[in-house]
Chains A and B, each alone.
Chain A
Amino acid sequence: MPHRILIVEDNENNRILFRDILTFHGYEIAVASDGMEGVALARELLPEVILMDIQMPDMDGMAACRILKGDPLTSGVKIIALTSFAMRGDQETFLAAGFDGYLSKPIDTRELPLIVKGLLEQEMNGA
């Protein structure tokens, strides 16, 4: 059974880009366009990995991550922050919010599948 990945990203083009790349690499992909929808989908589908944009209208990635990590149902899901303003110190902020890692935009399309793969392996080994 393929691994399930949820992409939460408000920019439609980026959403399609990430979806297509990861679909190509054999993952089962679900997408959400804002934090609220992302949280609802995460609870419904219980994906293994969530790629979470930080800057989104209404509920941003930080808030969504806090909710998911605070919910015993979804607290085990690996959540990766996608951010376009990676500065030093941000990393700490993200980790403090509960993210398991972060990727700086522009996302390297060749790196993205590798990172997801690594994360899943890490989870399998860890669990």
Chain B
Amino acid sequence: MGIDKDKSMSSAAVELRRQAEERLRVKSAALTPIRTNEESQILLHELEVNQIELEMQNEELRRVQEDLELSRNKYAELYDFAPVGYFTFDLHGVIREVNLTGAQLLGVERGLLTDEPFALFIDDVDGKNIFTQHLATVLHNQGIQRCEIRLTGQSGAVIHARLQSVAFAASESKDGYILSSIVDGTAAKQLETEIQDAREYAESIIETMRRPLVVLNAEFQVLSANPSFYFTFKVTPEETIGKNLQDLGNRQWDMPELRHLLEGILQDNSGFNSYEVEHDFPGIGRRIILLNARRILRKNISSHIILLAMEDITTRRQAEEALLKTGALQSAIFNSANFSSIATDARGVIQIFNVGAERMLGYSAAEVMNRITPADISDPQEVIARAEALSIELETPIKPGFEALVFKASRGIEDIYELTYIRKDGSRFPAVVSVTALRDEQNTIIGYLLIGTDNTARKQVEAEQRQLSQSLRDHQFYTRSLFESNIDAIMTTDPSGIITDVNKQMEVLTGCTRDELIGAPFKNYFTDPDRAVMSIRLALSEKKITNYELTARARDGKETVVSFNATTFYDRDRKLQGVFAAARDITERKSLDRVLQEKNVELEGARAVAEKTNLAKSDFLSNMSHELRTPLNSVIGFSEVLQDQLFGPINSKQQEYLQNILTSGKHLLSLINDILDLSKVESGKMELELIDFSLRESLDASLMMLREKALKNGIALKMELAPEVDVRIQADQRKLKQIMFNLLSNAVKFTPAGGTVDVEAVRDGGFIQITVADTGLGIKKEDIPKLFQTFTQLESVYTKEYEGTGLGLALTRRLVELHGGRIWVKSLFGMGSRFSFTIPLLQSASNEPPAIRSTAIHGKGSTVLLIEDEPLTLDALENALQCSGYRVLRADDGAKGFEMALHESPDLIILDLIMPGMNGFDIADQLFSANPDTAMRILVLTAMHLSAADRERLAGKVWRIAEKGSLSTHELINLVEDAVSLVHGS
């Protein structure tokens, strides 16, 4: 290129010269031969002028040439020292020309590069291909083409070369060639790699950060978040990435203040620290989160990004609060005037002496601090004694003095001991001292804390008690003779069953001496120690036991069956001392019992056989019923076909007979069905098909079945359902319908025209009580017990008129009991009957076999009134009683209970004593004056420890007093049963 320009420049100079010469020649040609001097003079002058002009032109030319040279040099400099390597290639990539930078790039002297193929500096095949490809692209396309190639310079250095090339087509004078500029992109490449690495590094830091972190863009959309974020806030990446912060997971981050802060970051601040957010986060609950944010600037504000780092400090905060509380507690304890708190340094010199210590010991803190040790205010004799005792106990010499007070604590042993402190005025008081070693972080002891309480009062009480016990023992001495002269073996035990006293007979029974027996556990002398322990427990809980049998085993192995009577006994303060027990040898009676028992076993065997037979009977009945039903099916079926006259008419006599066959057949069928059902119940094969259904709908359906018949007989059939039983219940609906059908059809059957049959249902605790009342014949009192038994139809006189299988009520009873309910009847002969039954609203998960359940019923419908203000006790009692077949009335306060006791005339009243308002004593008093008969049905059940005065007040007004918690459910039920049978018996 430079050469070209050079040539054009020199041709311009030649032209200039040629023009000047032309002008000169024209001028000289126009000259005629010199005629005059004047003419010569003019000519000369002209010549001179021309000469000057020419010189001026020459001068100009030279200057142009200089300029040219300068720019040529400048250009060459530019070319050679440009920061870009310039290469001229031929069409095959052979180097034609190269500038200095280009040569330096390759690390080869410029002169050596000419005519070398460029590919020489490309190491790998791929690169060579790229270069070849690049050349081809350059040749076939206009304009600049680019590529990147890895070059290997002479020194072996790798250069990431970026080529920009353009092709020049061949002309007349020249072959086609390619000009390429090459830049060393190594540094850029390196930078790029570094940036990439840095980015990956940053991402991995974000990923692995244990605290949640999100990256937001300027619109607060989440660009990325780390696993900790997902874990902490229980969100998935899908729910997070690209979402606006405010919209994340149920808008849990929608906090105006946070948004404000973030906006602030974008505008002027570079970030914020420790912004605390307490927020109820859906899914993870209330959390305290600490937020730090940093802005990362980009070219413009809209592409700024924000790093939002979070820290869940909920637990830390809780710990801090707990700590704060503990601290408060500690200072409260320390400032308490009821404890003496003395802290010492490691040598024992008092450093802290709190108000309690000042108060107890009479010293002011200033008087003792940095002056004395706690040993100086303790009884010196005790300190010496303690030092000696500890030396022996720990087998190491311990000096009397402060060391004796804290030695155990210094070894990390918890130490609480009694000590006598000496006040400033010289008086003494017993203290209980707790010692703790204070340690620094390296676990080195830096001091001790002695916390003491004044033990004077307790000591006094103990001394008094000792004295009382002594006098009691004195008293017992007088009873000794009574004790010894008894023919029964007698002993006393303390409440834990350790023998405290025995008489001679007891020594005989056990073969041990009195000294051996006293202090030994009572149970050791019996064949069944557990049962022996139980007797003591029972005596303690029941206050007395009678005829409790145990077999004593003497030292020589001789066994004696004894019957114990035992009672608890008390000291003068009515404080329980233990159990007084008397044992009588009943070996002889026992052998009689054994004979009796053997007889019982025989009887039991016989009963089992009978039961088995009964079961066989049930099976037989069940099978027979199937067999019987098949032919009956034909009898009834054919009769119906004939009656329907499907195959021709029959006369009226035949019709009448046919009706008889049908009626008898159907009766027989219902008989068989009832037998079948009964046998199923009795053999335990009948199971409840529990479903959830509306009681009202079910009862309606039952009534519907009898409606037509009632109408025909002129009987009004009504139902009255209390609102609280218009509910859904869980029972066997089919069986409930069967129960209702049996009761209703009986009622309709035995009620004359114009009468009524009423169905009522009320709620009774966890039960529904349903009553079918009629105005029919009624039942004689003596017949009632037979009513629910199988094959009983009362009096043959009914039988003709009122046909039935005699199984209906027996089956009904079984079905009710199968549900866990019970059935009873109240009837006045000639006035009508009320059949009532209960079924539970809900069935318990386990269905006991009906045979067992029916015998387990104790209550037989007796009513128990519970007066108790504590709902849990009320529920428990109610449940226990209902399970045993009692009807339970509840009163949760005294006044209500009193009213119910008066008006409901319950068979038994269970009465709590302590209640707000009208208490149990008041009720007993008032009930006694209103109706002594009712009051005597009260069983007081109380958790209160009754004083003699309390018992006095209740005496004669209530039936019994029992302690709450001392009775098992079973025992309670037995007690209730006793009470009820007593009431009924009287």
Q: Does A pair with B?
A: yes
List residues of A whose CB falls within 8 A of some B CB.
11, 13-14, 17, 20-21, 24, 55, 84-85, 88-89, 105-110
Q: Is the CB of B734 within 8 A of A88?
A: yes
Query: Cβ of B25 < 8 Å from any Cβ of A?
Result: no
Given contacts A24-B646, A88-B734, contact A106 B637 (CB under 8 A): yes
Given contacts A20-B641, A88-B734, A89-B689, contact A107 B633 (CB under 8 A): yes
Over the window 52-86 of chain B, the binary record of Cβ atoms lying under 8 Å from chain A Cβ atoms (1 yes, 0 no) is 00000000000000000000000000000000000
Q: Is the CB of A17 within 8 A of B630?
A: no
Tell me the nearest residue of chain B to A113, going by C-beta: B646
Q: List 23 A-B contacts (CB under 8 A).
A: A11-B630, A11-B631, A11-B634, A13-B638, A14-B634, A17-B637, A20-B647, A21-B641, A24-B646, A24-B647, A84-B626, A84-B629, A88-B689, A88-B734, A105-B633, A106-B637, A106-B669, A107-B633, A107-B637, A108-B640, A109-B640, A109-B644, A110-B644
Give 5 A-B pairs besides A14-B630, A84-B626, A89-B689 with Cβ atoms closer than 8 angstroms.
A11-B631, A11-B634, A17-B638, A105-B633, A109-B644
Over the window 619-662 of chain B, the binary record of Cβ atoms lying under 8 Å from chain A Cβ atoms (1 yes, 0 no) is 00000001001111110111011001011000000000000000
Specify which chain A residues have a CB less than 8 angstroms from the CB of B638 in the assembled complex. Answer: 13, 17
Tell me the nearest residue of chain B to A105, going by C-beta: B633
Q: How far is the CA of A120 from the CA of B646 in the complex (A)?
A: 22
Specify which chain B residues have a CB less than 8 angstroms from the CB of A55 in the assembled complex. Answer: 626
Q: Is the CB of A14 within 8 A of B637?
A: yes
List residues of B whose CB falls within 8 A of some A CB.
626, 629-634, 636-638, 640-641, 644, 646-647, 669, 689, 734
Q: How far is the CA of A107 from the CA of B669 in the complex (A)?
A: 12
Q: Is the CB of B626 within 8 A of A85?
A: yes
Specify which chain B residues have a CB less than 8 angstroms from the CB of A106 in the assembled complex. Answer: 629, 632-633, 636-637, 669
State the Cβ distance, B256 to closest chain A Cβ, in Å: 62
Tell me the nearest residue of chain B to A82, going by C-beta: B633
Q: How far is the CA of A106 from the CA of B662 in the complex (A)?
A: 12
Contact of B629 among A17, A105, A108 (CB under 8 A): A105
Tell me the nearest residue of chain B to A108, going by C-beta: B640
Q: How far is the CA of A99 from the CA of B532 in the complex (A)?
A: 66
Q: How far is the CA of A88 from the CA of B687 in the complex (A)?
A: 10
Q: How far is the CA of A29 from the CA of B669 in the complex (A)?
A: 28
Q: Is the CB of B637 within 8 A of A109?
A: yes
Specify which chain B residues have a CB less than 8 angstroms from the CB of A109 in the assembled complex. Answer: 636-637, 640-641, 644
Q: Is the CB of B640 within 8 A of A14?
A: no
Q: How far is the CA of A85 from the CA of B629 in the complex (A)?
A: 10
Specify which chain B residues have a CB less than 8 angstroms from the CB of A85 in the assembled complex. Answer: 626
State the Cβ distance, B764 to closest chain A Cβ, in Å: 28
Secondary structure at chain A's binding surface: helix, strand, loop or mixed?
loop
Specify which chain A residues have a CB less than 8 angstroms from the CB of B647 in the assembled complex. Answer: 20, 24
Specify which chain B residues have a CB less than 8 angstroms from the CB of A88 in the assembled complex. Answer: 689, 734
Q: How far is the CA of A11 from the CA of B629 in the complex (A)?
A: 12
Specify which chain B residues have a CB less than 8 angstroms from the CB of A17 in the assembled complex. Answer: 634, 637-638, 641
Q: Is the CB of A110 within 8 A of B640?
A: yes
Specify which chain B residues have a CB less than 8 angstroms from the CB of A21 in the assembled complex. Answer: 637, 641, 646
Q: How far is the CA of A35 from the CA of B630 in the complex (A)?
A: 18
Q: How far is the CA of A108 from the CA of B669 in the complex (A)?
A: 13
Specify which chain B residues have a CB less than 8 angstroms from the CB of A20 in the assembled complex. Answer: 641, 646-647
Q: How far is the CA of A105 from the CA of B626 in the complex (A)?
A: 10
Specify which chain B residues have a CB less than 8 angstroms from the CB of A105 in the assembled complex. Answer: 629-630, 633
Specify which chain A residues have a CB less than 8 angstroms from the CB of B669 in the assembled complex. Answer: 106
Tell me the nearest residue of chain A to B632, going by C-beta: A106
Q: How far is the CA of A109 from the CA of B632 in the complex (A)?
A: 13
Q: How far is the CA of A126 from the CA of B803 in the complex (A)?
A: 47
Tell me the nearest residue of chain A to B646, going by C-beta: A24
Tell me the nearest residue of chain A to B637, going by C-beta: A17
Q: Is the CB of B630 within 8 A of A84?
A: yes
Among B631, B637, B734, find the residue whose CB has the most chain A CB atoms closer than 10 A.
Answer: B637
Specify which chain A residues have a CB less than 8 angstroms from the CB of B629 in the assembled complex. Answer: 84, 105-106
Specify which chain A residues have a CB less than 8 angstroms from the CB of B637 in the assembled complex. Answer: 14, 17, 21, 106-107, 109
Specify which chain A residues have a CB less than 8 angstroms from the CB of B634 in the assembled complex. Answer: 11, 13-14, 17
State the Cβ distance, B690 to closest chain A Cβ, in Å: 11
Q: How far is the CA of A107 from the CA of B633 in the complex (A)?
A: 7
Q: Is the CB of B633 within 8 A of A84?
A: yes
Q: How far is the CA of A14 from the CA of B646 in the complex (A)?
A: 16
Specify which chain A residues have a CB less than 8 angstroms from the CB of B646 in the assembled complex. Answer: 20-21, 24
State the Cβ distance, A89 to closest chain B Cβ, in Å: 7
Tell me the nearest residue of chain B to A88, going by C-beta: B689
Q: How far is the CA of A20 from the CA of B647 in the complex (A)?
A: 9
State the Cβ distance, A72 to closest chain B Cβ, in Å: 34
Specify which chain A residues have a CB less than 8 angstroms from the CB of B633 in the assembled complex. Answer: 11, 14, 84, 105-107
Tell me the nearest residue of chain B to A84, going by C-beta: B629
Specify which chain B residues have a CB less than 8 angstroms from the CB of A107 in the assembled complex. Answer: 633, 637
Tell me the nearest residue of chain B to A109, going by C-beta: B640
Tell me the nearest residue of chain A to B688, going by C-beta: A88
Specify which chain A residues have a CB less than 8 angstroms from the CB of B630 in the assembled complex. Answer: 11, 14, 84, 105
Q: How far is the CA of A20 from the CA of B641 in the complex (A)?
A: 9
Specify which chain A residues have a CB less than 8 angstroms from the CB of B734 in the assembled complex. Answer: 88
Q: How far is the CA of A55 from the CA of B629 in the complex (A)?
A: 13
Q: How far is the CA of A84 from the CA of B673 in the complex (A)?
A: 11
Q: How far is the CA of A72 from the CA of B494 in the complex (A)?
A: 87
Tell me the nearest residue of chain A to B634, going by C-beta: A13
Tell me the nearest residue of chain A to B639, going by C-beta: A109
Specify which chain A residues have a CB less than 8 angstroms from the CB of B644 in the assembled complex. Answer: 109-110
Q: Which 8 A-B pairs have the closest CB atoms?
A: A13-B634, A109-B640, A106-B633, A17-B637, A88-B689, A24-B646, A109-B637, A105-B633
Specify which chain B residues have a CB less than 8 angstroms from the CB of A108 in the assembled complex. Answer: 640
State the Cβ distance, B902 to closest chain A Cβ, in Å: 47
State the Cβ distance, A114 to closest chain B Cβ, in Å: 13
Specify which chain B residues have a CB less than 8 angstroms from the CB of A14 in the assembled complex. Answer: 630, 633-634, 637
State the Cβ distance, A10 to closest chain B Cβ, in Å: 9
State the Cβ distance, A66 to closest chain B Cβ, in Å: 23
State the Cβ distance, B635 to closest chain A Cβ, in Å: 9
